[in-house]
Amino acid sequence: MTRSSSVRAAANKPSQPLFWRDPALPFLEIRTVQDGRQVCYARHSHEHFSIGAITGGVSSYLSLQDRYQVAHGSVVLMNPGEVHACNPIANQAWSYHMLYVDTAWLAQLQHEIGLSANQDFHCFSPRLSEDAALFRDLQQLVARCLSADYATLGKQEAATSFFAQLHTRLHTVTPSSAGQHRRLQRVAEFIDDQYASDLRLEDICAASSLSASYLIRAFRQRYHMTPHEYLLDRRIRRGKTLLRSGQSIAQVAQTLGFADQAHFQRTFKRLVAATPGQYCRSAG
């Protein structure tokens, strides 16, 4: 991020999100919110690993089926695909940094430090940490990335060092056997492939050989989303990628299969807690 883009992003209103990106660190994106009272997320997930620091105030943190109250010093963690949401409590002020880390990059780092290469990605077992040292080091990483005083090499070293050490601080777990959920996994894969289509429940049932009643109940238990919520989540994931590539909001809305641009913008804001325009403008 150049100094000029840093200044432009910092000039946003406190309630406006700042998205930091650097072509030299394509595996990392940082989102900063100074006043989160108007930042409301619907339940959603990411294809990447996410870790965040609550830098002020208090908020509510939903991770899978568990809900926590988090405050200054809390570190929240989301493995790829895990449903979560953070939201204000009774209009109380809160602020945070959130880091989104490319899963393939992090998996390669895991293999380099000695974790089994037979598994693509080793999930982290804790979803919440109150470790003061972890919070401090995460804050320092964000500060270094946002600073114009650090060269690219310094930022790359800081990011690699932090995420390598993260594995010595936190336990990782082996995901549950996919064999027990193979038919539900086929549902997820079908939606992943057909996310831009006007899917009907009968289409998904036919693709998975599951009844509608069982499909909805079991899918929600497995993925903590209904099939429709999962579909919208996948559309918005893809939409963020297309927006970063330079496509217009109207183009992205059409590509994703939304009825119109307004529907895309409403859904994006509900899941990302920022408008598509804010997401594009804040990019470094």
State which residues form the domain around 82. Answer: 3-173
Same domain, 48 and 158: yes
Same domain, 221 and 277: yes
- CA-wise closest residue to 43 among 198, 173, 264, 220: 220
Read off the pTM: 0.74
Same domain, 144 and 206: no
Domain stop point among 173, 198, 220: 173
Residue 82 has pLDDT above 70, yes or no: yes
Same domain, 161 and 219: no
The CA distance from 38 to 274, in Å, is: 10
Q: How many CB atoms lie within 10 A of CB 78?
A: 24
Same domain, 54 and 155: yes
Domain stop point among 142, 173, 204: 173
Domain stop point among 151, 173, 195: 173
For residue 258, give the CATH number of its domain.
Answer: 1.10.10.60
Confidence of residue 181 (pLDDT cuts 50, 70, 90): low
Per-residue pLDDT tens over the stretch 183-202: 888 899 999 999 999 888 88
Query: What is the chain's mean pLDDT, rounded?
Result: 87
Same domain, 68 and 19: yes
Helix or strand run (H / E) with residue 274:
none
